[in-house]
Structure 1
């Protein structure tokens, strides 16, 4: 398994874009410089009235398939 660490900040307005069907993915830059694209649904549990903000750890398997996303701060 491989892990990516990154910071993410999405405003409430940007989150509304997902609920309106305009946004499907979030693209982040991991600490190592890699661009990682995640389906927005993986972040839904972290969304509040302000959107979401935090430090995250993404785990993927050998085939780069999603395993888990954790907020670590």
Structure 2
């Protein structure tokens, strides 16, 4: 049996200050709305690799398996 994956696309614009509670572990999930209108909750630790001095900005692609388990996240732009 092969795994089935789903991809969700969304835009995220958080300043460094807005992301600070996630980086510090005070908040755990980032809530976004993907292009199709679904609301997604993503563990903030997956965004740490994208944190720059001005925050996290860009278009992202989230891939999950058929059970909704995280597989990958990439910045598209």
| Same fold (TM > 0.5) | yes
* Runs ≥4 residues deviating over 4 A: none
For the aligned residue pairs, the C-alpha RMSD in angstroms reads: 0.9
Q: Is 2:66 aligned against 1:62?
A: yes
TM-score (norm 1): 0.94
Q: Is 2:16 aligned against 1:12?
A: yes
Deviations 1:18-39 (A, max 9, x none): 2333211100000000000000
- Structure 2: 5+ residue stretches without partners: none
Distance 2:11 2:28 in 1: 19
Q: Is 2:17 aligned against 1:44?
A: no
TM-score (norm 2): 0.89
Deviations 1:22-70 (A, max 9, x none): 2111000000000000000000000011110000000000100000000
